[in-house]
Amino acid sequence: MSRHIAEVVENIEIACKIYKMTIISNQVAQSAYPGQFIHISIPHDESLLLRRPISINRVNRNNNQVDIIYQVVGKGTKILSGLEKGAELDILGPLGKGFWIPKGTKKIYIVGGGCGVAPVRFIGERWDYLDITSFLGFRGKPWAYQIDEFERFSRKVFVSSDDGTIGYKGSIISLLDKHLSVENPDLVMACGPVPMIQALQKTVLKYDIPCQISLEERMGCGVGGCLVCSCAIGSKDKWDYKKVCTDGPVFWSEEVILDGESETKC
Ligand SMILES: Cc1cc2nc3c(=O)[nH]c(=O)nc-3n(C[C@H](O)[C@H](O)[C@H](O)COP(=O)(O)OP(=O)(O)OC[C@H]3O[C@@H](n4cnc5c(N)ncnc54)[C@H](O)[C@@H]3O)c2cc1C
Ligand code: FES
């Protein structure tokens, strides 16, 4: 992990209020792996003291370019969306413990919902030698992005939307459930809003499939010092608080105890 200045080379809107930013960062491009994130200091507004965590969508080790995808939800992401080519960003990263491939894994299902589609793309880019099927859920067609990128490394891509304007109408987890009833991958890897993750936890438990999930908990320092990102990890009888920023953000699905509350807006 290092604190450094990254240069913005592109920042474009790719779906409704969803932006792809490409930055140059030798440190992140050379060492990041799927599921890790960068912690961005928001420029031009001194009232925004806390950095904003954004997952890594893709890295290119040849030219040190790093892609991130973010949804404009508040002041910080609004300022990011206005940055132009040549702008400089103070970033920390790569941070966190990301996804990993257990020995013997051959067939994986990748599941992403909303902003959670962005980090799971990196899985397919890095481990494209695996047999990959992708499941992508969006609110509707205006919010859908990067489906073609998943098609490049996936045997098959399944898409769903809440309003039926693209793909299957309904939740991506009900679509996943249908597939798990006829075919079992070695591993499911996922990121998305809390309600999606809760439904996924029940589904993978039903079919007894190992599953890694990435949590997008609110963060402060991003490096283990403030405890803002604590999350209950363990079993219902025996659990402990872990820090999502340094112990995660990726955990085994059966270990994560999520309450019913969701403040996610992806
Ligand atoms: C490890 C990690 C990876 C992330 N990766 C991405 C990503 O790849 N793309 C992306 O768009 N977003 C991602 N997020 C969420 C992103 O960090 C927040 O959306 C961002 O910090 C909001 O900043 P803001 O100043 O625009 O909004 P704020 O003004 O801080 O908040 C606006 C609204 O968003 C809510 N909010 C803020 N942060 C979060 C959060 N972490 N989870 C749920 N709700 C939140 C607030 O409660 C409020 O309602 C990630 C979060 C974490 C912890
Ligand atoms: S964000 Fe400070 S400990 Fe995790």
Here the CATH number for the domain that contains residue 29 is 2.40.30.10
Taking the centre of ligand 2 as the mean of its atom positions, its distance from the CA of residue 176, in whole angstroms, is 32
Residue 1, pLDDT score? 64
What is the helix (H) or strand (E) element at residue 205, kind and residue range?
helix 194-207
Structural domain includes residue 152: no
Structural domain includes residue 37: yes
For 33, the domain range is: 2-95
Could you tell me the pTM of the whole model? 0.95
Helix 172-180 vs helix 194-207: crossing angle, to nearest 10: 10
Mutate to test the pocket of ligand 1, among 54, 57, 122, 230 (most ligand atoms within 8 A of CB): 54
- Give the nearest ligand 2 atom to 229 CA: 4
How far is CA 112 from its chain centroid? 7
Ligand 1 and 264: CB distance under 6 A = yes
Give 193-250 pLDDT, tens digit per residue.
999 999 999 999 999 999 999 998 889 999 999 999 999 998 878 889 999 999 999 9
Ligand whose nearest atom lies closest to the CA of 37: 1
Residue 189 to residue 100: CA distance in whole angstroms: 9
Structural domain includes residue 61: yes
Structural domain includes residue 170: no
* Peptide linkage before 94 cis (omega within 30 of 0): yes
Cα torsion through 58, 199, 185, 59, rounded to 10: 0
**Could you tell me the pLDDT band of residue 3, with boundaries at 50, 70 and 90?**
very high
Inter-CA distances, 84 with 21, 235, 259, Å: 10, 46, 39
Give 13-43 pLDDT, tens digit per residue.
999 999 999 999 999 999 999 999 999 999 9
- Give the nearest ligand 2 atom to 226 CA: 2
Structural domain includes residue 171: no
Domain count, the chain: 1
